[in-house]
């Protein structure tokens, strides 16, 4: 039976063997540390997904978001060609490698291609190709298809624009980034492919939804359990890529 990050089964039974709940870590304010950074540190130290990522060797708690999305929609299939935009630090790529770039237990071979691109260099991940690339550069789509040896089955993005501190501005920035990722996906996805991206709730996501519904068979909006409850983020999972609706066959 699957366990939650706290070591309990879905029925609430404690499987940690300690017979008591974990004690919450409290962080005292320190000279030079702001109140907000103290709160952030305390939240990190008490986050069960952060602890689980550390113990299981993932590069961040975000790995569990893509796990939970894939558990529901099953797009990281063995043998798939997957592109992770804004891949740093690499948690989503780590999950994709384990689920798509594998050798069958009975000797069967199902090796996918996992490609992570970002503006910054990343530490290598076994079974994954990592490249420094701005996906919005001219010709980036052709370069990615060359690296893949064809079109992609999945394009996914956990990107977020740098925060300005102004909620409405940040929402517009991340939605613009998400739309850019969607247009990139239109150029590189195979028919029937899947697009997964982080968005922020706030009112400007309507145009993206309309755009995706024109190109995909189904568009789902979901907030996975690993996404913090106090965060406005959610994820869009668009499946069944149909190509350009204006294109006449």
Choice among 65, 151, 173, 198 that is catalytic? 198
Q: Which pLDDT score, from 0 to 100, does residue 119 have?
A: 95
Q: What is the mean pLDDT of residues 14-34?
A: 46
Q: Say if residue 187 carries a ligand binding annotation.
A: no
Report whether the peptide linkage leading into residue 89 is cis, meaning its omega lies within 30 degrees of zero: yes
For 138-168, what is each residue's pLDDT tens digit? 999 999 999 999 999 999 999 977 676 777 7
For 174-192, what is each residue's pLDDT tens digit? 888 999 999 999 999 999 9
Tell me the pTM: 0.78
CA 192 to chain centre: 20
Rg (CA), the chain: 19
Separation between Cα atoms, residue 99 and residue 113, nearest integer Å: 11
Fold category of 63-241 in CATH:
Rossmann fold (3.40.50)
Q: Say if residue 147 carries a ligand binding annotation.
A: no
Q: Which pLDDT score, from 0 to 100, does residue 92 have?
A: 97
For 64-85, what is each residue's pLDDT tens digit? 999 999 999 999 999 999 999 9
Would the CA dihedral through 48, 227, 4, 100 be positive or negative?
A: negative
Which strand (E) or helix (H) includes residue 199? strand 189-200
For 87-109, what is each residue's pLDDT tens digit? 999 999 999 999 998 654 445 56
For 198-225, what is each residue's pLDDT tens digit? 988 766 678 899 999 999 999 999 999 9
Structure tokens, 28:
């005292």
Q: Say if residue 134 carries a ligand binding annotation.
A: yes
Q: Say if residue 134's pLDDT is above 80.
A: yes
Average pLDDT, the chain: 82
Separation between Cα atoms, residue 97 and residue 76, nearest integer Å: 9
51 is catalytic: no
């Amino acid at each position: 039976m699957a366990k939650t990050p706290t070591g309990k089964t879905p029925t609430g039974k404690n499987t940690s063997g300690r017979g008591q709940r974990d004690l919450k870590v409290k962080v005292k304010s320190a000279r030079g540390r702001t109140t907000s950074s103290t709160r952030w540190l305390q939240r990190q130290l008490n986050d069960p997904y952060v602890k689980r990522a550390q113990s299981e060797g993932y590069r961040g708690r975000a790995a569990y978001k893509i796990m939970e999305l894939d558990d529901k929609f099953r797009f990281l299939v063995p043998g798939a060609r997957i592109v992770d935009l804004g891949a740093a630090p690499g948690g989503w790529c780590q999950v994709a490698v384990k689920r798509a770039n594998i050798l069958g237990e009975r000797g069967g071979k199902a090796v996918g291609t996992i490609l992570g691109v970002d503006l910054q260099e990343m530490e290598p991940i076994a079974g994954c190709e990592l490249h420094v690339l701005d996906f919005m550069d001219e010709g980036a789509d052709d370069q990615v298809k060359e690296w893949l040896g064809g079109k992609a089955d999945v394009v996914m993005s956990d990107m977020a624009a740098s925060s300005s501190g102004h909620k409405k501005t940040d929402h517009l920035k991340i939605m613009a980034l998400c739309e850019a990722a969607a247009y990139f996906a239109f150029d590189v996805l195979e028919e029937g492919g899947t697009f997964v991206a982080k968005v922020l709730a706030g009112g400007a996501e309507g145009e993206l939804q309309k755009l995706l519904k024109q190109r995909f068979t189904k568009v789902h909006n979901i907030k996975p359990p690993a996404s913090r409850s106090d965060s406005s983020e959610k994820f869009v999972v668009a499946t069944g890529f149909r190509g350009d609706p204006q294109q006449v066959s």
